[in-house]
């Protein structure tokens, strides 16, 4: 099995897109999870359902929503391009957005469960010991929720690696520009290039198995 | 320590999918350093303790401690928990599982995000030594026995320099032998640091061991407040059966209600 320069380029782009998407999903997911675990507010259940939607909607539907939002004639697309010069359609940045959206609920769900599992008496004790809310968060809540957040983040990364449908809709399948591993596999199979398909499938499998093994380690109960 | 509590609050609780409203009107005062709040489960003693610590906000009333007003609805005063200078020892001790014994005990001394100072570490080690657990400084809470965990929780509360320590049924999770031992330890620690405490319990032995002032709770109100130390000083140990009978009355009333 030999990796060509093009294969390496695809692997690097895939890693770049999924790592960035995972980072965004982690920051957004953990922050919102904390808010949901901590506060009751009007529309909480509806918002929860909307945030979980990417887990159940077909990726193509998500991609279509993203086009409606960020496309050249979309709701936000022209504004983004005028003010920030950001173009999301047919760019790798668009692929990052798509992967972030599909990966987000995985972080959100497990981080929320992790924050909700932190015993109230722990946080209250920290307050009686003089901690401000920011201290309570960084010294008690976050450390105690870390395992759950890390596990969700690893799953999110695996999901982002394998993202196909939504990415195809918004970023397209442009070799050398927006083509990720899963799309290259599709192209290789369609072109009847079995050797190449095998190589790419092997690559993506190795990365995903590694991630799942890691997340199994982090999900396992302590001791 | 002068303590004056007069609070009203109502909590919505859920029991077997049924929404219930629990209302509390607690009013008592004490000038003693050892206050025991006695009452059956669900009589409101835990809620009162949480209100004193600022973990629950009463609807109306006031809480005064020493010369300070911690809460006064009429004056619009409600100090946040972190400023109340109150040590709180939860029933399950609530030790931080991700921190060592030293870091647990010294939680209040660390000026986060900076690390613990050397002086703080020395102070913590001294305190751990007083409690006879200095050799456990690097252990984590899951490696400790129940008695050791309580010592850490108490050391942690004391290192906060509290004006009062609140103890929520501190011995309920222990076997009888350990209970006696920890009662003696708590009395010795109290005498040594001269720190006032309020302890809630439904165990008569705790009443006998600690109650200078005894406050008896009965479904959401104070049924009786007895200056036990004065009574026993005046009438001798023969006074205890009468005091215990008053305690028992709260249980009988609770049983009749259920």
Contacts of B90 in chain A (CB under 8 A): 121, 124-125
Tell me: the pLDDT tens digits for B118-148?
999 999 999 999 999 999 999 999 999 999 9
Q: Please give, one letter per residue, the 3-state secondary structure of chain B.
A: CCEEEEEEEEEEEEECCEEEEEEEEEEEEECCCEEEEECCCCCCHHHHHHHHHCCCCCCEEEEEECCEEEEECCCCEECCHHHCCEEEECCCCCCCCCCCHHHHHCHHHCCCCCCCCHHHHHHHHHHHHHCCCHHHCCCCHHHCCHHHHHHHHHHHHHCCCCCEEEEECCCCCCCHHHHHHHHHHHHHHHHHHCCCEEEEECCHHHHHHHCCEEEEEECCEEEEEECHHHHHHHHCCCHHHHHHHHHHHHHHHHHHHC
CB within 8 Å of B37: residues ≥ 6 apart: B45, B48, B49, B198, B199, B200, B201, B215, B217
Nearest residue in B to A140, CA atom: B96
Reduce the DSSP state of residue A185 to 3 states and report it: helix
Question: Would the CB atoms of B107 and A129 count as touching at under 8 Å?
Answer: yes
Instruction: For residues B92 and A129, give the distance between their C-alpha atoms in angstroms, rounded to a whole number.
Output: 16
Instruction: For residues B219 and B251, give the distance between their C-alpha atoms in angstroms, rounded to a whole number.
Output: 10
For B156, which of A121, A129, A138 is closest by C-beta distance?
A: A129
Q: Which pTM was predicted?
A: 0.86
Tell me: the pLDDT tens digits for A144-178?
999 899 989 998 998 999 899 999 999 989 888 89
Cα torsion angle, A188, A189, A190, A195, sign: positive
Structure tokens that stand for A146 in this block: 């870390």
Question: Would the CB atoms of B112 and A139 count as touching at under 8 Å?
Answer: yes
What was the pLDDT predicted at B1? 82
Contact B116, B103 (CB under 8 A): yes
Question: In angstroms, what CA-CA distances link B69 with B159, B163, B214?
Answer: 23, 13, 22
Phi and psi at B193, nearest 5°, equal: -95, -10
Question: Would the CB atoms of A135 and B90 count as touching at under 8 Å?
Answer: no
Question: Would the CB atoms of B107 and A139 count as touching at under 8 Å?
Answer: yes
Nearest residue in B to A145, CA atom: B98
- The minimum CA-CA distance between B81 and chain A, rounded to whole Å, is 6
Tell me: the pLDDT tens digits for A117-141?
999 999 999 999 999 999 999 999 9
Tell me: the pLDDT tens digits for A3-52?
788 888 999 999 999 999 999 999 999 999 999 998 988 999 999 999 99
- The minimum CA-CA distance between A195 and chain B, rounded to whole Å, is 49
Average pLDDT value for residue range B74-89: 94
Q: Chain B residues within 8 A (CB-CB) of chain A?
A: 53-55, 80-84, 86-88, 90, 92, 94, 96-98, 107-108, 112-113, 142, 156-157, 160
**Buried b vs exposed e over B94-108: b needs ≥16 C-beta within 10 Å?**
bbbeebbbbbbbbbb
First to last CA, chain B: 36
Contacts of B88 in chain A (CB under 8 A): 124-125, 128
With pLDDT > 70 as the criterion, what percentage of chain A qualifies?
A: 97
* Whether the predicted pLDDT of B104 surpasses 80: yes
First to last CA, chain A: 41
Structure tokens that stand for B251 in this block: 């249980």
Question: Would the CB atoms of A127 and B82 count as touching at under 8 Å?
Answer: yes
Question: Would the CB atoms of A126 and B107 count as touching at under 8 Å?
Answer: yes
Nearest residue in A to B83, CA atom: A130
- The minimum CA-CA distance between A105 and chain B, rounded to whole Å, is 27
- The minimum CA-CA distance between A26 and chain B, rounded to whole Å, is 22
Instruction: For residues A217 and B207, give the distance between their C-alpha atoms in angstroms, rounded to a whole number.
Output: 49
Nearest residue in B to A122, CA atom: B94
Q: What is the dihedral of CA A41, A45, A48, A49, to 10 degrees?
A: -160
Question: Would the CB atoms of A131 and B142 count as touching at under 8 Å?
Answer: no
For B94, which of A121, A132, A223 is closest by C-beta distance?
A: A121
Contact B30, B215 (CB under 8 A): yes
Average pLDDT value for residue range B240-249: 89
Structure tokens that stand for B138 in this block: 């690097």
For A130, which of B53, B108, B142 is closest by C-beta distance?
A: B108
Instruction: For residues B35 and B164, give the distance between their C-alpha atoms in angstroms, rounded to a whole number.
Output: 10
């Amino acid at each position: 099995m030999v990796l060509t320069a093009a294969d390496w380029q695809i692997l690097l782009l895939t890693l770049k897109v999924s790592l960035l998407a995972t980072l965004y999903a982690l920051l957004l997911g953990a922050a919102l999870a904390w808010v949901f675990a901590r506060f009751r507010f009007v529309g909480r259940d509806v918002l929860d359902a909307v945030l979980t939607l990417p887990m159940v909607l077909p990726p193509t539907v998500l991609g279509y929503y993203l086009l409606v939002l960020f496309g050249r004639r979309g709701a936000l697309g022209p504004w983004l391009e005028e003010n920030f010069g950001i173009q999301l359609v047919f760019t790798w940045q668009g692929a990052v957005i798509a992967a972030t959206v599909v990966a987000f609920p995985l972080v959100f769900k497990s981080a929320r469960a992790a924050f909700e599992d932190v015993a109230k008496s722990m946080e209250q004790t920290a307050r009686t010991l003089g901690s401000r809310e920011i201290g309570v968060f960084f010294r008690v809540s976050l450390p105690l929720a870390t395992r759950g957040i890390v596990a969700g983040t690893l799953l999110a990364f695996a999901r982002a690696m394998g993202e196909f449908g939504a990415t195809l809709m918004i970023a397209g399948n442009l070799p050398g520009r927006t083509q990720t591993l899963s799309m290259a596999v599709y192209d290789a199979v369609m072109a009847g290039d079995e050797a190449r398909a095998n190589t790419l499938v092997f690559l993506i499998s190795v990365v995903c198995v590694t991630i799942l093994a890691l997340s199994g380690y982090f999900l396992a109960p302590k001791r | 320590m002068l303590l004056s509590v007069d609070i009203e609050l109502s909590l919505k609780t859920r029991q077997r999918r049924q929404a219930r409203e629990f209302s509390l009107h607690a009013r008592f005062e004490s000038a003693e350093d050892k206050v025991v709040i006695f009452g059956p489960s669900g009589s409101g003693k835990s809620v009162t303790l949480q209100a004193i610590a600022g973990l629950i906000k009463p609807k109306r009333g006031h809480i005064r401690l020493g010369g300070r007003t911690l809460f006064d609805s009429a004056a619009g005063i409600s100090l946040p928990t972190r400023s109340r200078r109150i040590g709180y020892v939860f029933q399950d001790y609530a030790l931080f599982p991700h921190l060592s014994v030293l870091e647990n005990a010294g939680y209040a001394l660390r000026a986060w995000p900076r690390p613990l100072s050397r002086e703080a570490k020395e102070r913590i080690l001294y305190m751990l030594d007083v409690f006879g657990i200095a050799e456990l400084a690097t252990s984590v809470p899951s490696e400790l026995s129940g008695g050791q965990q309580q010592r850490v929780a108490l050391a942690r509360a004391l290192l906060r320099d509290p004006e009062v320590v609140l103890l929520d049924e501190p011995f309920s999770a222990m076997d009888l032998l350990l209970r006696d031992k920890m009662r003696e330890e708590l009395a010795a620690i109290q005498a040594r640091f001269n720190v006032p405490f309020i302890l809630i319990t439904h165990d008569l032995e705790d009443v006998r061991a600690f109650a200078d002032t005894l406050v008896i709770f009965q479904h959401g109100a104070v049924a009786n407040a007895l200056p036990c130390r004065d009574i026993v000083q005046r009438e001798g140990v023969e006074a205890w059966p009468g005091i215990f009978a008053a305690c028992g009355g709260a249980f009988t009333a609770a049983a009749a209600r259920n």
